[in-house]
Structure 1
Amino acid sequence: MRTGKCVEPDTLIIEENIVRMAESFPYSDEDLKGVSSTEIDGYQNSKFDLLLRQKWDQAMRDGHFRYQLDKVETKIIPGKKKYVAQLNVKRATERRKPQEITIVKQQFDAKQFNFTKIKSEEILFELEKVASNSLCNGENLKRRTLVIVNVSPLEYGHILIVPDIDAFFPQILTQFAIKTALECMLLSSHRGFKVGFNSLCAFASVNHLHLHAYYLEHDLFVDTCSVTHLKGSLYELTAMPCPGFAFQLQNRNTEDLSRDIHKVADYLSEHEVAHNMFLTYGKSFDSQSTEPTIRVFLWPRKKFIGIKEEAAFNVAVVELGGHLPIKVEELYGSLTEESIEETIRSACLEDQEYLSIKQDVTKLFS
């Protein structure tokens, strides 16, 4: 598999059920427009959004999901954070059984389920951009990024983005994957479009590099809350129960921002720290600016291994961002901001460990 270096032919993994060619969605840098200030109060759809929604709706009509996702019951929890809680019991009961994960840097295992083994009907389209190809033994290696349905959706339009699908990377963020996440955000003109990532031991259920994306037509506290500048492009989020790192996209420069985010993600992976990454449209960190920005949050958190005791929700990426898919109907009606934050804090690192990580991460930025 590729890890940034050329791979010898005898190390390549050959799959029996390799994903075949999919419909292409071509785009260029000119299409990376994102949400403009004139659209921030509405929910507009770009060519990317229209194709995604059309294909997703058809897949739902054709029965390629594990359950029908009708209008999701939603309520806003009273309090400062205005947590968005949604009752979705079937996602917990009918989703694919998670793989056994014990470490953050667990190797890819071709014998386990991976995204080359999905049904062709689950593929929506392939993202196609003139990309940086790696030259290996005189051959150009094309990076294929597939957009597929999440068969156990948590919200409307819930998809998986699988960057570099043929490289068989484990669920460890690469700079290319982060850049792909930023570009997908910019391809959408819908301010409710979200992209997320769960590392291994942070509720990733498949050890094959992938991102989550979906639409949420409710504002989140993290869209506008204040952050503190640390160094360079690095900020800190302390307004949510779990502290973490924050970045914003400026001047559509996905190359520089993806490189900076990857510095932190790579540090966390190398030090066996579980983590979650969340991308959302929101207010610029510069209080004087009226232009919407893409906010990126990266939370180091406690490892999750094994079976969790029954709770209203698991603490994964969207939950850290303030969106709570509730899996236990009996607990849905009794949620309060206090009970929610108590559950979220159970995933936080101890203060001293977080402060040590913060010091190390800050040193990565000049």
Structure 2
Amino acid sequence: MWKHYKFDPNSVNFSCDTDKKLNEFDTLLHSEWDRAVTQDLFAFPINYHANRRILDDGDLHYIIEYNRDRQEKRRIAYPYEHVNAPFDNNKFNFNKIKDKEILISLDNDEQTDKHLIIINNAPIHPYHVLLVPDRQLEQTQILTIDCIIFGFEFVAVSAHPYILAGFNSLCAYASINHLHLHGMYFPDRLFLQTIKCSPFHTNSNCYLLDLFHAEAFAFEVQHIDEFNRIAQYVYKITNYLASNNIAHNMAIVKGDSFSSSNNVLRIFVWFRQSVIKAQRFDRCNFACLELAGFMTLHYEEVYNTLTQMELFEHLNEIALSLEEQKRIKDHVKNLLDN
């Protein structure tokens, strides 16, 4: 049986301005991940010293890494054509993994099989994990309130300032139709942690990340008592997007408050063009991690030549039309009013 870590509401950490990188939770998770490495559970050898550079020729801070193995040796993604697709037990799902691929469970009680943290066997970066809630329920890749709160807890329980929980819908680079989040420890800060956002809906304290053509709704959590309320707001939006076959991504990070000097959890939900049949492009592909500010590149030439300006041009290309964006934002305002 895998190890259990009890979530303590009194020890959450929202700070992204600290030199402390690991606490008891992080140490346990890292040690279990290292154990999985020694058991040869990954699709390729882990590169702890990948070539990395920061694109800072503009006013942002974007991290790129060279990782050829991730593209060449990962599990082939199923070519989904709709955001909603039924669960198919014949395809790979997390009930097919080995017990030793489960690192720990994380919950505020003694349930050891509800909120699982497992390896990603083709990791983008060392200590890249997957968060799987209630795997026995065979939930499709559509966010639930419980899953969103699981993401909040994963980020808040860690001492690491550059940790993220992220979600990709089908048609937004989710490759497995079994509910899960990505968990990632980043080597440096992400621009998403400090980027300014515009007020969008006052009553729900919702903001809009509108620096790019591909926009995102944004919320913040200032205290653990807000977990459920903010998760319900996020769910209203993601449920609407899923119900209307609109591809979307979500990211949860520690960062600056949009309206005060506090450290908070920041939550972003992008609505974007669908990627049909798992199409991948030679230069830039945007899922939750890439939208947050970290991209791995599988061609060395692209890694060596990519500029921030080009990257942001590709990011703008995934935006929906202005008319469709306006329609979505109008619908979301109505949802948040109720």
Q: Specify the TM-score bucket, using the shorter chain as the normaliser.
A: over 0.9
Q: For residue 247 of structure 1, what is the aligned residue in structure 2? A: 219
SS of corresponding position for 1:324:
strand
Give the AA of the match of 2:143.
L
Q: Contact 2:171–2:278 (CA<8 Å) still a contact in 1?
A: no
Q: Contact 2:128–2:183 (CA<8 Å) still a contact in 1?
A: yes
Give the AA of the match of 2:85.
Q
Q: Deviations over 1:28-84 (max 9, x none)?
A: 3234x1134xx7231432221111111112212322111122212110112222211
CA RMSD of aligned residues (A): 1.8
Q: For residue 193 of structure 1, what is the aligned residue in structure 2? A: 163
Give the AA of the match of 1:160.
L
Q: What count of residue pairs does the alignment treat as equivalent? A: 332
- Of 94, 101, 106, which residue of structure 2 is paired with 1:127? 106
SS of corresponding position for 1:176:
helix
Give me the whole-angstrom Cα distance separating, in 1, the residues matched to 2:329 and 2:79. 29
Q: For residue 344 of structure 1, what is the aligned residue in structure 2? A: 315
Q: Contact 1:234–1:362 (CA<8 Å) still a contact in 2?
A: no
Which runs of structure 1 show a deviation greater than 3 angstroms over 4 or more consecutive aligned residues? none
CA deviation after TM superposition for structure 1 residue 130, in Å: 3.1
- What TM-score does the superposition give when structure 2 sets the normalisation length? 0.94
Q: Deviations over 1:199-253 (max 9, x none)?
A: 0010000000000001002122221111111112211001245211001112222
5+ residue gaps, structure 2, are: none
Give me the whole-angstrom Cα distance separating, in 2, the residues matched to 1:363 and 1:310. 36
Equivalent residues in 2 for 1:88-127 (5 A)? 88-127=67-106
SS of corresponding position for 2:52:
strand
- Of 250, 253, 265, which residue of structure 2 is paired with 1:280? 253
CA deviation after TM superposition for structure 1 residue 129, in Å: 2.2
Q: Contact 2:81–2:171 (CA<8 Å) still a contact in 1?
A: yes
Give me the whole-angstrom Cα distance separating, in 1, the residues matched to 2:109 and 2:83. 32
Give me the whole-angstrom Cα distance separating, in 2, the residues matched to 1:362 and 1:250. 22
Give me the whole-angstrom Cα distance separating, in 1, the residues matched to 2:14 and 2:125. 21
Give me the whole-angstrom Cα distance separating, in 2, the residues matched to 1:117 and 1:28. 30
Equivalent residues in 2 for 1:21-170 (5 A)? 21-31=1-11, 33-36=12-15, 40-70=17-47, 71-77=49-55, 78-130=57-109, 144-170=114-140
Give the AA of the match of 2:97.
I
SS of corresponding position for 1:67:
coil
- Of 237, 247, 265, which residue of structure 2 is paired with 1:294? 265
CA deviation after TM superposition for structure 1 residue 307, in Å: 5.0
Give the AA of the match of 1:355.
K
Structure 1 position 323 matched with structure 2 position 304: no
- What TM-score does the superposition give when structure 1 sets the normalisation length? 0.87
Change (3 A) 1:113 1:107: same
Q: For residue 213 of structure 1, what is the aligned residue in structure 2? A: 183
Q: Contact 1:313–1:327 (CA<8 Å) still a contact in 2?
A: no
Q: Deviations over 1:285-334 (max 9, x none)?
A: 11x41x21111110001111125354223111111112111122221111
Q: For residue 269 of structure 1, what is the aligned residue in structure 2? A: 242
